[in-house]
Amino acid sequence: MNINATLLAQAIVMIVFVAICWRYIYPPILSVMQEREKKISDGLEAAKKADDSLEEAQLAFNQELDKAKAESAELIDKANQRASQIVNDAKSKAQDEAEKILLAASKTIENETNQAKEELKSKMSEIIIDTTQKILDEEISSEKHDDLLKKAAAEL
Amino acid sequence: MAKELTTQSYIDHHLTNLTCGKTPDGWSCDPHSIDQMGFWSFHVDSLFWSVFLGAVFIFVFKWAMPKNVDASAPPTGLQNFVEMSIEFVEDNVQSLFGTTKNKLIAPLALTVFVWILLMNLMDLVPVDFIPELAKSVGIEYFKVVPTTDPNITLGMALAVFVLTIYYSITVKGLKAFVAELTLHPFGKWLIPVNFILEMVNFIAKPISLGLRLFGNLYAGEMIFILIALMLFFSSIPVGILGFGLHLVWALFHILIVALQAFIFMALTIAYLAMAHETEEH
pLDDT, position B281:
47
B2 falls in which pLDDT band (50, 70, 90)?
very low
pTM for this model (two decimals): 0.74
Q: In what side-by-side order are the strands of the sheet with B19-23?
A: B26-28, B19-23, B41-43
CA neighbor of B82 nearest in space, from A35, A37, A17, A28: A28
The answer to whether B208 is a known catalytic residue is yes
Dist CA B167 CA B170 (whole Å): 5
B148 and B260 in contact (C-beta within 8 Å)? no
Determine if residue B63 is left, alpha or beta; phi over 0 gives left, psi from -120 to 50 gives alpha, anything else beta. alpha
Query: Is the pLDDT reported for residue B1 higher than 50?
Result: no
Element (H, E) at B140: none
pLDDT range class, residue B37, cuts 50, 70, 90: confident
Cβ contacts (< 8 Å) between A15 and chain B: which residues? 159, 162
pLDDT at B132: 83
Residue B43 CA to residue B149 CA, distance in Å, equals: 9
What is the three-class DSSP state of B139?
A: coil
Per-residue pLDDT, A1: 54
Q: Looking at residues B121-129, what average pLDDT do you find?
A: 86
Mean pLDDT of A118-132: 85
Q: Could you tell me which chain B residue has the CA closest to the CA of A21?
A: B107
User: What pLDDT score does A132 carry?
Assistant: 80
Q: What is the pLDDT of residues B201-255, one digit of tens each?
A: 889 999 999 999 999 999 999 999 888 888 777 788 888 888 889 899 999 999 9
Measuring CA to CA, which residue among B68, B56, B151 is closest to residue A1? B151
Does A9 contact B108 at a Cβ distance shorter than 8 Å? no
pLDDT attached to residue A89:
94
Answer for the pair B275, B174: CB distance below 8 angstroms, yes or no. Answer: no
Give yes or no for residue B17 having a pLDDT over 90.
Answer: no
Under the banding of pLDDT at 50, 70 and 90, the label for residue B59 is very high
- Three-state secondary structure call for residue B42: strand
**Considering just the CA atoms, what is the radius of gyration of chain B in Å?**
22
Nearest to B21 among A4, A10, A33 (CB): A4
B32–chain A Cβ distance below 8 A for any pair? no
Mean pLDDT score of chain B, rounded to an integer? Answer: 86
A138-147, B36-45, B53-62, B259-268: range with lowest mean pLDDT: A138-147
Q: Mean pLDDT over residues B55-75, rounded?
A: 83
Helix (H) or strand (E) holding B146: none
Q: What does the pLDDT average to over B77-100?
A: 86
SS3 B173: coil
For an interface test with B, the pick among A1, A6, A38 (most B C-beta atoms closer than 10 Å) comes out as A6
List, as ranges, residues 80-99 from B with C-beta within 8 Å of A: 82-83, 86-87, 90
CA distance B280 to chain A (A): 31
- Under an 8 Å CB criterion, which residues of A touch B? 1, 3-15, 17-18, 20-22, 24-26, 28-30, 32-33, 35-36, 39
- B19 φ, ψ (degrees, to nearest 5): -120, 135
Domains of chain B, by residue range, sit at 17-276
Over residues A2-17, mean pLDDT: 90
Check if B164 contacts A (Cβ < 8 Å).
Answer: no
B33 is catalytic: no
Angle at B147 between CA B64 and CA B247, to 5 degrees: 85
CB pair distance less than 8 Å for B115 and A17: yes
Per-residue burial over B41-74, b if 16 or more Cβ lie within 10 Å, else e, is: bbbbbbbbbbbebbeebbebbbebbeeeeeeeee
Q: How large is the average pLDDT for residues A86-113?
A: 93
**Which chain A residues contact residue B149 at CB under 8 A?**
6
pLDDT at A139 (0 to 100) = 62
Q: Is the dihedral of CA B110, B114, B116, B117 positive or negative?
A: positive
pLDDT surpassing 50 at residue B9: yes
Beta bridge mates, B19: B43
A98-108 burial, b for 16+ CB within 10 Å, e for fewer? eeeeeeeeeee
Yes or no: say if B194 and B184 are a contact pair by the CB < 8 Å rule: yes
Q: Are B34 and B16 contacting, i.e. CB atoms less than 8 angstroms apart?
A: yes
Q: How far apart are CA A100 and CA B220, in angstroms?
A: 127
Which of A30, A57, A79, A9 is CA-nearest to residue B54? A9
DSSP class of B126: -
Peptide bond before residue B192 is cis, with ω within 30 degrees of 0: no
- Nearest CA among B118, B99, B167 for reference residue B265: B118
